[in-house]
Amino acid sequence: MAMAPDQGSGQRDQAAGLRRLFGGRQQRHIALVSNPFVEPAELVIDRLCAALGALGLHTLVVDAADGAPAPREMALLELAACIESMAPEVSYLAARGLPIRHVDSHGRCAAFLDALARAAPQADVVLVHAGTSDLARLFAAQPLRPLLQAADSPRSLTEAYAALKRLAQRPGWLSHDVLLLADPRGPRTARIGESIASCAERFLGAAVHDVAVVDPGGPAVQGALMQLLRAQLAQDRLAGPGAPHERAVTASH
């Protein structure tokens, strides 16, 4: 497990590299696993969008979590008309219950991703905030590394581990990242990421690739999150249907 440093150095190089990565390529996807015990959920999404915006990328937020707003009635007929512009680099779609409306005979919802690409061609990144069942149906065939959420509370950690277990068992995703919303100077902060990684490897044979600690009271754009996101968006160049899963590595500070 690598603990991404919370600093802004190298951000211009990261942004330039990521823009080159996106040149002439299709939209990237980030699977943000919902956790009702990480509050406020809006803060996590805002920080992700701010970091992606700092990298020069337009983000479409697809909010399909159980607590998300319901979609507009016309969403199945005219999806583009239901997408709201929240900022120059951010669009938003209320999508609770929408993925399952696109399910096919194999129980997958990849058609929803195709519909999103047509509805929001301006988006470089599609950030899907959803529960494990919807994420498995949407992305089972893709080499994604789900982004788990956690905070400094027992309930949030229990839910994060339960989500990791479900994703390891159903679609077989054995590599994950963790976004930890906590005080970087807190006495338990470093141990939280280590605990999730240890449980994942010991009981599931899974790996936590990176942990980014994001300070809720800190600046909107934080280096640790930008580093994690850059790796998230680039990792599918290396992964493939037969690619080996990453092994956890020792945390570095």
125 belongs to a structural domain: yes
Return the pLDDT at 23.
Answer: 52
Band of residue 1 on the pLDDT scale cut at 50, 70, 90: low
136 belongs to a structural domain: yes
Return the pLDDT at 18.
Answer: 55
Global model pTM greater than 0.95: no
Tell me the mean pLDDT in the region 35-42: 93
Band of residue 253 on the pLDDT scale cut at 50, 70, 90: very low
Return the pLDDT at 14.
Answer: 53
pLDDT digits (tens, 9 = 90+) for 95-128: 999 999 999 999 999 999 999 999 999 999 999 9
Which structural domain, as residue segments, surrounds residue 232?
2-237
Q: Are strands 125-130 and 147-151 parallel, antiparallel or unpaired?
A: unpaired
Query: Domain count of the chain?
Result: 1
251 belongs to a structural domain: no
Band of residue 41 on the pLDDT scale cut at 50, 70, 90: confident
Tell me the mean pLDDT in the region 148-161: 96
- Closest residue by Cα to residue 68 from 102, 89, 86, 45: 45
Q: What is the CATH number of the domain that holds 231?
A: 3.40.50.300
Q: What percent of the chain has pLDDT over 90?
A: 74
Residue 199 has pLDDT above 80, yes or no: yes
Using CA atoms, how far apart are residues 193 and 156, in angstroms rounded to an integer? 12
194 belongs to a structural domain: yes
86 belongs to a structural domain: yes
249 belongs to a structural domain: no
Q: What is the largest CA-CA distance in the chain?
A: 51
Instruction: Give the residue, 62 or 237, on which the prediction is more confident.
Output: 62
Whole-angstrom CA distances from 122 to 60, 74, 101, 125, 203 are: 9, 21, 24, 9, 41
pLDDT averaged over every residue in the chain = 86
In this structure, which amino acid lies at residue 181? Answer: L
242 belongs to a structural domain: no
pLDDT digits (tens, 9 = 90+) for 22-33: 554 578 999 999
Q: Is 110 helix (H, G, I), strand (E, B) or coil?
A: helix
Cα-Cα-Cα-Cα torsion 233, 80, 42, 126, nearest 10 degrees, comes to -10
Contact 229, 124 (CB under 8 A): no
Q: What percent of the chain has pLDDT over 70?
A: 83
